[in-house]
Homo-oligomer: A and B are copies of this chain.
Amino acid sequence: MRISELAHAAKVPLPTVKYYQREGLLPPGRAVNARESQYGEEHLSRLRVVRVLVTGLGLTIAQVRHVLDVLDGPQRDPYQAMGEATKNLPLTAPASQTSTPDDDVAMVRALGFTHIIDPQLAGQLGNALRWAAESGVSVTPELLGAYLDATRQIARADFEVIPRTNSRESVSFAVVGTVVMEPVLLALRRLAHEELAQEMEDDEG
């Protein structure tokens, strides 16, 4: 396909595709003449990943380049590559999203959150899952189920440390704690990944 077709297929504006190319995030196409190059499926999947990392997760160009370097680098063990990709990455955040379709509320209800009626919160999860899917990662029901179990355990533990009074102190503790524990959670997941990768290496070694 031509570069304009590539841009259309990945839902990235053409000038942005050219910018990614100048920044080395997208390899050149196969030149067919002096003015035109052809692009294949590997360009499309790469461009989709770059789009998710930049637009979905809000990474800088330098951070995206680091992730791609790990993808393209000589390191071939996927478990080691995971740690390599994230260890120089700040704990990431998606850009704020606005779409909150009813479908997301239905999806969240189907996950078992029957109490939940906040469409904004449902939209956050919907967006996060759509960005994952668009990057080519399939979130299986088993994987999502494991995340669900684990986050419910965490939420119960969070609630247990909050003083059960309606004082200003307990509100402050709950609100600030919710926000500041997010980086702790992400850091622990990365440590657990590294632990498992090391154990597998030891088993094989």
Contacts and interface: CB of A to CB of B under 8 A. Distances in A.
B174 A136 contact: no
Interface string A73-114: 001111101111111111111111000000000001000010
Contact of A180 (B57, B58, B186): B57
Contact of A189 (B75, B94, B155): B155
B176 A186 contact: no
| Contact-residue bracket for chain A | 35 or more
A105 to B, nearest CB: 11
A181 B137 contact: yes
B154 A189 contact: yes
Contact of A176 (B94, B136, B158): B136
Contacts of A153: 146, 149-150
Contact of A94 (B90, B173, B190, B199): B90
A157 B53 CA distance: 22
B188 A151 contact: yes
A76 B140 CA distance: 39
Interface in A153-205: 153-163, 166, 168, 170-196, 198-199, 202
Interface stretch (A13-21, A28-36, A126-134): A126-134
B194 A116 contact: yes
Interface of A: 49, 52-53, 56-58, 67, 70-71, 75-79, 81-96, 108, 113, 115-116, 118, 120-122, 124-125, 127-129, 131-132, 135-140, 142-144, 146-163, 166, 168, 170-196, 198-199, 202
